[in-house]
Amino acid sequence: MQVTVLGAGIIGVSTAWHLLQRGHEVTLVDRQTDAALETSFANAAQISVSYCEPWANKDAPLKTLKWMFSDESPLLFRPQLDWAQWRWGLQFLAQCNDAAFERNVAQLVALGSYSHAALKAVVADTGIEYHRLERGIAHYYTDQKSFDGAAEAAAVMQRFGVKRRVVSRSELLTIEPALQAFADRIVGGTYTQSDESGDARTFTQQLATLCGQRGARLMFGHDIERLDSDGREIREVRVRDRQSGLARVLKSDAFVVACGSYSTPLLKSVGVDVPIYPGKGYSATLPLLKPDQAPSVSMIDDQLKIAVSRLGNQLRVAGTIELGGFDLSLDTPLAKKRCEMLVRRIEQVFPGVADTRTPEQGGDPQFWCGLRPATPTNIPLIGRTKLRKLWINAGHGTLGWTHGAGSGKALAELIHGERPAMDFGFYGMPSDAQTAPVSARLRVAQPPGQA
């Protein structure tokens, strides 16, 4: 079967890889000059099966309201004259209760475990190197009240089979001695040894290269301008070469939309309405001055809700969410404040370990921002749209790197007519494909004409 994958972030590339593995002919299209140059470029690098709590919980509405008045808050709702934003907000509010939270966690853990196994298999098959560190993720708390709640969060994860456990300050320091200078502020933490970290961009770009070597047609530098449908099925996709200006029409047996946050406007043009809204986040990548004193365990700072990962001789700190449309600016006062906050925290927690000087002071922090493709549930849309031949793999929000390998594999399986072996609600799929016995791989019935 010929399959065209639209978007070459971690999700699109992983989908392409797994389709090739199943013997399909793949075309991969992206407007950028390489894979992973948008949201998959400089994220927090965590493969966090255990830290997958959805944003929507019973405390979220009040917190979000309070946070609206602080430029440095972890989640900032910036109201726009945009119905899509308000509708997303209302759908999010509907998820802010215990029942929805549990339901959503169950799905995220199922996909996380499946994806972690898929990632390990891809790494074993390909030997890709991407500053991978299998040292776990530690979550440190500086506030006793929040730490008291950590046991409850760990218990939720343990119920779903994730070995996240509460650790004392002294145990945390044994797990990651680099926290020593900040020890006085820490009241305790949680730790999951099975989690890991690594550079999503390097991984994705190398996997895209391997896709090319396995025969995929890589069409970088092409804008996807339009999907054409007759109301029942997708006919073709119109793309334009950014350099030459030449337009091309792509025909295929199946098309996969994996354009992150931009999947929403693209799909809307053919009447497919998906609740994916951009959640802007920032990162700073800093050169290490004292590599031997830098952390190798990936971290979550509970107070600021930011994550820190070591990538070779650099330290990456990332976080914060802004719901305010498709804004990728880094030079506004708000963006600068949020970037500075990330770097300031690194100097507080790991003093002198990384070069935290500003460019004005002669430093070279690499600031970046990206748009998380967020759904109100945090659960990505992996499956079939109402139009024949048109599939979706998007909406991975905060966890696209964690869920990347598994989402690509699962969609490739669905397109191939297989049933992914996990309990997960696939988008637009018949109910017998929604959940699966963990051991079995049954064929999924295809409606007539469905690619």
Ligand X SMILES: Cc1cc2nc3c(=O)[nH]c(=O)nc-3n(C[C@H](O)[C@H](O)[C@H](O)COP(=O)(O)OP(=O)(O)OC[C@H]3O[C@@H](n4cnc5c(N)ncnc54)[C@H](O)[C@@H]3O)c2cc1C
Cβ neighbours of residue 303 closer than 8 Å, sequence gap 6 or more: 141, 142, 143, 146
Which one among 4, 5, 12, 27 touches ligand X, defined by CB under 6 A?
Answer: 12
The correct pick among 111, 166, 187, 258 for binding ligand X (CB under 6 A) is: 258
Phi, psi at 229, each rounded to 5°: -135, 160
Among 15, 43, 115, 356, binds ligand X (CB under 6 A): 43
Q: What is the identity of the amino acid at 232?
A: R
| Stretch touching ligand X by CB under 6 A, among 123-131, 258-266, 331-339, 430-438 | 258-266
Nearer to ligand X, 391 or 444 (CB): 391
Give the residues across from 140 on adjacent strands.
189, 301
> Token match 């997958």: residue?
52
Instruction: Pick the stretch among 175-183, 205-213, 259-267, 328-336 that binds ligand X (CB under 6 A).
Output: 259-267
Closest distance of CB 392 from ligand X, Å: 10
Please state the closest distance from residue 229 (CB atom) to ligand X, in A: 16
- Alpha carbon distance 289, 286 (integer Å): 9
Helix axes 98-126, 200-213, angle to 10 degrees: 50
Question: How would DSSP label each residue in 80-98?
Answer: -S-HHHHHHHHHHHHT-SH
Amino acid identity, position 133 = L
Report in angstroms how near the CB of residue 414 gets to ligand X at its nearest: 17
> Which residue matches tokens 């019935």?
445
Run of H or E including 219 = strand 217-219
Rounded least distance, CB 317 to ligand X, Å: 10
Nearest approach in angstroms of CB 34 to ligand X is: 9
50 scored as a contact of ligand X (CB under 6 A) = no
Binding residues for ligand X restricted to 216-255, rule: CB under 6 A: 223-224
Evaluate the CA torsion angle 201, 202, 205, 208 in order and state its sign.
negative
Question: What is the closest distance, in whole angstroms, from the C-beta atom of residue 364 to ligand X in the complex?
Answer: 19
Q: Which is nearer to ligand X, 281 or 419 (CB)?
A: 281
Q: Kindly indicate which of the ranges 157-165, 269-277, 324-332, 366-374 contains the residues binding ligand X, using the contact rule CB under 6 A.
A: 366-374
Residues 89-148 that bind ligand X (CB under 6 A): none
Residues 387-446 that bind ligand X (CB under 6 A): 394, 396-402
CA dist., res. 142 & res. 282, Å (int): 22
Interacting stretch for ligand X, rule CB under 6 A, among 66-74, 270-278, 339-347, 369-377? 369-377
**Nearest-CA neighbor of 29 among 203, 227, 223, 243?**
223
Report how many residues bind ligand X under the rule CB under 6 A: 41
DSSP string, 402-421: HHHHHHHHHHHHHHHTB--S
Which candidate, 39, 66, 74, places its Cα nearest to that of 326? Answer: 39
Binding positions for ligand X, 279-338, rule CB under 6 A: 281-283, 307, 318
Residue closer to ligand X, measured from CB, 136 or 187: 136
Task: Give least dist CB 328 to ligand X, A.
Answer: 10
